Amino acid sequence: MDGGTIALDGETSLGSETATQPPLLSSPTPTYSSPIHPAANAVHRCDAAHAAASSSKGSIGVGAGNYFELHWQICHGRELQFQLAGHTLCSSDDGRFHPNLSLNFKTLCPRTSRGNFKCKIDSILRNHLGTAKILKLNVADEDSTYPYIDRWLEVAVTPGIEELTLTLHKKYIFACSLLSDGVRDSIRCLQLTFCAFHPMAELGPLRSLTKLHLCGVHITGDELESLLLNSLVLEQLRLNVCNKISFLKIPCVLQHLSCLSVMACRRMQVIVCEAPNLSSISLSGGIKFSLGETLTMKVLSMIRPNVVCYARAQLPSIMPNLESMVLSSDSEAVNIPMLPTKFLCLKHLTIQIARGTFSPSYDYFFLVSFLHASPSLETLYLDVFQEDMRHESIVEDSSAHLRQLPELSHECLKSVEIIGFNSAKSLVELTCCIVKAAASLERLVLDTLRGGDRCSGESNGKICWPVSNAVLKESARAAIAVRRYIEDKVAPTTTLTLVGTCTRCHSLAFG
């Protein structure tokens, strides 16, 4: 097998693990099976070396150095088998090593017991000593691996490694000593999940690091700032569930930083970003953020209550050059105002205000304010799914008068998708307004179900997600509203797709 990501589903075979002999630790005298490859003389040379070592030390306690010297002499033969520390090891390749390693329980032990997991990791890392360019190691929830993580990383993290993605153990402390001068020269991407990491200024510069992703990592704001000051070519910084940080300062020396994401860091209160070329930011929670330069901002994602109203009222003046925006909220108590400010460059807008039940007073129609403010908008994705729709249904009011904005005209909007479309009068009014105003509209999707609960139709062999009777009832009313008020307003050049329910959905209904 040539280079590339190695498929670890049987290339390395191991025997049963003995309870007293953990990986990468001292082990009893190894015994070798008969050679099965023409290169038998390589094995004989190694046997001689082993015999010499045994005679000088008695039963050879194979340390890391001794073992690796022995292993390197053997592993270049094709399918040479030997036993070490109670494990049957096998090198199935033709002497070439795989620079990309992805080690996790699913790929290593799809049909075997968990006891073999650490044995296989041990074998593979030995077999690729100093050769890995990309290492992805996931031992999350595998408590039995915790004592061996240090030795595995000492073996695998060597100068020349470029990408390190580790999902470890909540008690594990990632040692800064692993980031030697040679490693700091080569590593381009560092992703740590579920561990502690305490870098300080003495760490030294990471000269090639462009991506830093930390998830569930115990690190303080001061420690992270020290790491950032040593990462002058950093382009992406992503923090998820890093709950030790309350204040984050991103220094101005990060001239290359373009992407910042801070999600679910529940103690984060303030972010001060002085990086001059930031163009993409994702934030969740009520974080106060200060940006040194906002004219470079192109992409924004925010998750917080009442974010839709906040974005319309505040962001046109703060980030006037936004091109893509995602707004997610589970609570919108204030209707969006109609304002003169504009998002002149905005092309893609996603609004998610889905929750169990909206206040009946929330007026969807005012979302048209974004259409009015975004003359360059091309795609609109709106998720308004409710488990229990309590708005006034237009289906139950045959004399309903629909509000309109006849002066609204939009020349760029091409695609509109509404997830959780329902028969609320204000939502039907919004949809009609969009259809009438968007002269270039090519695609209109009205999904009366939640995106993940999409109906599979009547096709054999497929299933539908169970939905409540309330959702089924509202889906039927929404379909009536589309046919009564929207369908005849859709231009012939626009493809209208109505996603509803099938008989199987009704058979699976609950509540």
Which DSSP string corresponds to 359-383? -TT--GGGGHHHHHH-TT--EEEEE
pLDDT at 61 > cutoff 90: no
User: 399, 483 in Cβ contact below 8 A?
Assistant: no
Could you give the 3-state DSSP secondary structure of residue 247? strand
Ramachandran category for residue 79: left, alpha or beta (phi over 0 → left; psi -120 to 50 → alpha): left
Neighbours of 363 (CB within 10 A): 19
| 150: phi then psi, degrees, rounded to nearest 5 | -55, -50
List, for residues 101-136, the tens digit of each pLDDT value.
Answer: 999 888 787 665 666 788 888 888 888 777 889 999
Neighbours of 34 (CB within 10 A): 7
pLDDT at 429 > cutoff 60: yes
Provide the pLDDT for residue 180.
Answer: 95
Tokens of 89: 């090891």
**Mean pLDDT of the residues in the chain:** 79
pLDDT at 87 > cutoff 60: no
Provide the pLDDT for residue 132.
Answer: 87
458-472 mean pLDDT: 69
Nearest one of 47, 125, 118 to 80, comparing CA atoms: 47
- Least confident stretch, 15-24, 242-251, 452-461: 15-24
Provide the pLDDT for residue 71.
Answer: 32
Provide the pLDDT for residue 406.
Answer: 81
Provide the pLDDT for residue 357.
Answer: 54
Percent of the chain scored above 90 by pLDDT? 55
pLDDT confidence bin for 345, thresholds 50/70/90:
very high
pLDDT confidence bin for 31, thresholds 50/70/90:
very low
Provide the pLDDT for residue 258.
Answer: 98
pLDDT at 3 > cutoff 80: no
> How open is the CA angle 209-193-210, to the nearest 5 degrees?
10
Tokens of 465: 């997600």
More confident residue, 409 or 466: 409
- For 245, residues 6+ apart whose C-beta sits below 8 A from its C-beta are 219, 220, 221, 224, 239, 265, 267, 268
> What whole-number distance in Å separates Cα of residue 165 and Cα of residue 138?
8
374-390 mean pLDDT: 92
224-247 mean pLDDT: 97
More confident residue, 428 or 405: 428
List, for residues 144-185, the tens digit of each pLDDT value.
Answer: 888 999 999 999 999 999 999 999 988 899 999 999 999 999
Give the DSSP letter of residue 243.
Answer: T
Classified by CATH at the fold level, domain 98-295 comes out as 3.80.10
Query: Same fold for the domain at 98-295 and the one at 300-450+467-503?
Result: yes
Provide the pLDDT for residue 122.
Answer: 86
Provide the pLDDT for residue 97.
Answer: 54
Q: For the packed helices 64-74 and 40-57, what is the interaxial angle rounded to 10 degrees? A: 160
Provide the pLDDT for residue 36.
Answer: 30
Give the β-pairing of 415-419 and 443-447: parallel
> What whole-number distance in Å separates Cα of residue 238 and Cα of residue 245?
13
Domain ranges of the chain: 98-295, 300-450+467-503
pLDDT at 487 > cutoff 50: yes
Return the top range by mean pLDDT from 134-148, 220-234, 357-371: 220-234
User: To which H or E segment does residue 119 belong?
Assistant: helix 117-127
- For 25, residues 6+ apart whose C-beta sits below 8 A from its C-beta are 85, 151
Question: Was domain 300-450+467-503 assigned CATH 3.10.150?
Answer: no
Nearest one of 254, 277, 272, 252 to 262, comparing CA atoms: 272
pLDDT confidence bin for 8, thresholds 50/70/90:
very low
